[in-house]
Amino acid sequence: MEAVVPKLPSFNFLTPNSTAAVRKLGFRRFSSSSSSLSPSVSASTESESVSLGHITRPDFPILHQEVNGSRKLVYLDNAATSQKPVAVMKALQNYYEAYNSNVHRGIHFLSSKATEEYELARKKVAAFINASDSREIVFTRNATEAINLVAYSWGLSNLKPGDEVILTIAEHHSAIVPWQLVSQKTGAMLNFVNLNEDEIPDLDKLKAMLSSKTKLVVVHHVSNMLASVLPVEEIVHWAHNVGAKVLVDACQSVPHMVVDVQGLDADFLVASSHKMCGPTGIGFLYGKSDLLSAMPPFLGGGEMISDVFLDHSTYADPPSRRCCKLGENLSPRFEIDLQGKTQAECSAASEVADEWVPMLKLVEVSDWLAKPPRIGEEECPRIIFEAGTPAIGETIGLGAAIDYLSAIGMQRIHEYEMELANYLYENLLSVPNVRIYGPKPSKNVHRAALCSFNVENIHPTDIATILDQQHGVAIRSGHHCAQPLHRYLGVSASARASLYFYNSKEDVDDFIHALNETVNFFNMFR
């Protein structure tokens, strides 16, 4: 059957039930800037009759609208991107209205304020995933760029002919394609783990494939199609036993559960802001400090350099090697070249990053040597990997999103979403001729709050189109950037409904009702 041609949507905004208030939020390891949060979000528990979805929904204005001719929007496409709370939008607006400026090299107030908030976001990310140091966080455009950074910086430097990289067939294209390109350049081999009978990557086969030839294991934490959750800590342990590193795609886990990189012992981990209530255009790479320190630059440009000449350039060293050098913007009588000096060789334990001018005070050189400015640990980020002007507003917005999620509590979010996940799966099973992909939930098997599915003899894009146009239900259809997985399952595409903490069981009910009507509509033509 040919796909239905969609019409252009129309929008009518409803009035939210409440507005977000402004409050101060403390964070685990640092003080936060002020954030706009709903008074209800900070409540420690919700009553049985009021779910977390009902409590947080007023914080998301986009959800309070009608689409396609006065149909209430039911947004179930959260695995593709999440919606943004008022707190995040206010943080972006505040940056552009109050202290818009470039970071790291200016000495004026606006640049200092922007730098402070930008680096505070780095500390928030580090605390959120329990990194041991904020310098283990590298900001990137998205998780895709973060994986490419590891592939081209670590991969090209460490892989050689005969080496092996192990992946699963359930990986996102972003976790496959970079390693295909690197393997073509290095001669390394890519080996893939298939699914077991429960439609989960076969961990027994993965373990058996590990050998002294294995240099890297690339795995997702949560599958964006199968909804399966892998025991990353065990996989890391197996890989480390043969001397291999592990890169974890945590795009579908960091927004939904507590992720502890030290507990997982992962070597690299990537995630994207836009899937965790933050802005688009910003993601991050976590890397163990010893690995990052040994990796060469990925992109060339401003920020990541030490000195540039016409015939060559030198690069900013890792913070563990050099953290003391006054910037070029200072008056010559205050300049002193400490390049190559270690932190221990500086006269105090404080650290000052290359060209970190905003926080430096103009003092005599003798005074500076006696007591260098102390500005905290954020002054030595992995700037070697952050070439050019970064996404400053978006990074600050990511920090605000972390504040918002932390105020709710990630364990609370996870427990609520597990309840939603079971409710979605059980109700979707009631739809005639439906096929849900991934493991069946049980006492020992927990699914993420998403379901990829097909209905017999109906194209998933036709399903998604009718759900949208006739019922205002937004789901996704296609291959979900997982074509190898779809081919393994014998299909070219699937439909996917994915939930977040601001969804409710009523959203699931609306979806199931709309899906049944959609199936009945197409069955009329059979």
pLDDT 10s digits, 33-68: 444 455 455 544 455 579 999 999 999 999 999 999
The yes-or-no verdict on residue 320 having pLDDT over 60 is no
CB 519 within 8 A of CB 471: no
209-218, 229-238, 339-348: the lowest-pLDDT one: 339-348
Q: What is the pTM of this model?
A: 0.82
Residue predicted with more confidence, 285 or 32: 285
Query: Mean pLDDT, to the nearest integer, of 93-104?
Result: 96
Token reading at 363: 């003092």
If one compares 104 and 44, the residue with the highest pLDDT of the two is 104
Quick check: 335 pLDDT over 60?
no
Q: What is the mean pLDDT of the chain?
A: 83
Q: Looking at the predicted structure, is the pLDDT value of residue 201 above 90?
A: yes
Question: How high is the pLDDT of residue 204?
Answer: 98
pLDDT grade for 388, boundaries at 50, 70 and 90: confident
pLDDT of residue 40: 52
Greater confidence (32 vs 494) lies with 494
Q: How many Cβ atoms sit within 10 Å of the Cβ of residue 53?
A: 21
Print the SS3 string covering 264-300.
HCCCEEEEEHHHCCCCCCCEEEEECHHHHHCCCCCCC
pLDDT of residue 105: 78
> For residue 11, what pLDDT band results from cuts at 50, 70 and 90?
very low
Does 334 score more than 50 pLDDT? no
pLDDT of 196 > 90? The answer is: yes
Mean pLDDT of 325-331: 34
- As to burial, measured by CB atoms within 10 angstroms (0-12 exposed, 13-18 middle, 19+ buried), residue 310 is exposed
Neighbours of 422 (CB within 10 A): 14
What residues contact 254, with CB distance under 8 A and at least 6 apart? 128, 129, 271, 275, 276
Residue 473's pLDDT band, with cuts at 50, 70 and 90, is very high
pLDDT at 359: 33
Tell me the pLDDT tens digit for each residue of 270-308: 999 999 999 999 999 999 999 999 998 877 766 666 777
**pLDDT band, residue 377 (cuts 50/70/90):** very low
Amino acid at 295: M
Whether residue 507 has pLDDT greater than 50: yes
Between 73 and 16, where is the model more confident? 73
Active site residues: 481
Confidence band of 372 (pLDDT split at 50, 70, 90): very low
**CA-only gyration radius of the chain, Å:** 25
**pLDDT of 194:** 98
Q: Is the pLDDT of residue 498 over 50?
A: yes
The per-residue pLDDT for 179 is: 97
pLDDT score of 304: 64
Share of the chain above pLDDT 70, in %: 77
**What would the pLDDT profile of 515-526 be if each residue is shown by its tens digit?**
999 999 999 987
Lowest-confidence range among 35-44, 119-128, 146-155, 356-365?
356-365
In this structure, are residues 431 and 519 in contact, taking their beta carbons and an 8 Å threshold?
yes
Return the pLDDT at 325: 35
Mean pLDDT of 370-384: 46
Give just the sign of the alpha carbon dihedral 80, 155, 341, 303: negative
